[in-house]
Copies of this chain bind each other. A is one copy, B any other.
Amino acid sequence: MLRYLTAGESHGRALCVTVEGLPAGLEITAEELQGELARRRLGYGRGPRMRFEADEVTIVGGVRHGRTLGSPVAVLVGNSEWERSDKWHAEMSTAPGRTENPLTLVRPGHADLAGMQKYGFTDARDVLERASARETAARVVAGMLAKKLIGALGVVVGSHVIQLGSARASGAIRPGPDDLDAVDASEVRCVDPEAAEAMIAEIKAKSKVGDSLGGVVEVLVWGAPIGLGSHVHWDRRLDAALAGALMSIQAVKGVEIGDGFTVAGLPGSEAHDALFWDGHTYVRDTTHAGGIEGGISTGGLIVAHVAMKPLATLNRPTLATVDAITKEAGVSFKERTDVTAVPAMGVVAETMTALVLATEALRKFGGDSMAEFERNAHAFAAALADGPLG
Contact, CB under 8 Å: B294 / A7: no
Contact, CB under 8 Å: A127 / B294: yes
Also in contact, A120 and B232, with CB within 8 A (given A307-B264, A309-B271, A320-B274): no
Bound-state Cα–Cα, A308 to B254, Å:
14
Also in contact, A61 and B243, with CB within 8 A (given A95-B66, A372-B383): no
Contact, CB under 8 Å: B113 / A263: no
Bound-state Cα–Cα, A295 to B226, Å:
33
Also in contact, A275 and B61, with CB within 8 A (given A248-B240, A296-B114): no
Also in contact, A265 and B69, with CB within 8 A (given A60-B16, A110-B293): no
Contact, CB under 8 Å: B375 / A366: no
Instruction: Name which residue of chain B comes closest to A375, CB basis.
Output: B379
**Cβ of A93: which chain B residues have Cβ within 8 Å of it?**
64-65
A51 at the interface (CB under 8 A from B): no
Instruction: Name which residue of chain B comes closest to A97, CB basis.
Output: B65
Minimum CB–CB distance from A218 to chain B (whole Å) comes to 12
**Cβ of A293: which chain B residues have Cβ within 8 Å of it?**
108-114
Minimum CB–CB distance from A88 to chain B (whole Å) comes to 11
Contact, CB under 8 Å: A296 / B389: no
Name the residue in A72, A234, A295 with the highest tally of chain B Cβ atoms < 10 Å from its Cβ: A234
A343 at the interface (CB under 8 A from B): no
**Cβ of A46: which chain B residues have Cβ within 8 Å of it?**
none
Contact, CB under 8 Å: A117 / B389: yes
A144 at the interface (CB under 8 A from B): no
Contact, CB under 8 Å: B122 / A388: yes
Within 8 A of B (CB), among A241-267: 241-250, 252-261, 263-267
Name the residue in A321, A327, A389 with the highest tally of chain B Cβ atoms < 10 Å from its Cβ: A389
Contact of A247 among B135, B243, B375 (CB under 8 A): B243
Instruction: Name which residue of chain B comes closest to A111, CB basis.
Output: B294
Name the residue in A64, A260, A366 with the highest tally of chain B Cβ atoms < 10 Å from its Cβ: A64
Contact, CB under 8 Å: A294 / B115: yes
A76 at the interface (CB under 8 A from B): yes
Within 8 A of B (CB), among A304-320: 305, 307-312, 314, 316, 318-320
**Cβ of A112: which chain B residues have Cβ within 8 Å of it?**
293-294
A158 at the interface (CB under 8 A from B): no
Of the A-B pairs whose beta carbons lie under 8 Å apart in the complex, a sample of 29, sorted by A's number, is: A5-B20, A6-B18, A7-B61, A9-B69, A12-B61, A16-B18, A16-B61, A24-B126, A25-B119, A63-B94, A65-B97, A66-B94, A66-B97, A69-B232, A70-B130, A71-B233, A111-B231, A112-B293, A113-B293, A163-B264, A206-B268, A254-B255, A259-B309, A264-B309, A267-B310, A275-B322, A325-B389, A375-B376, A376-B379
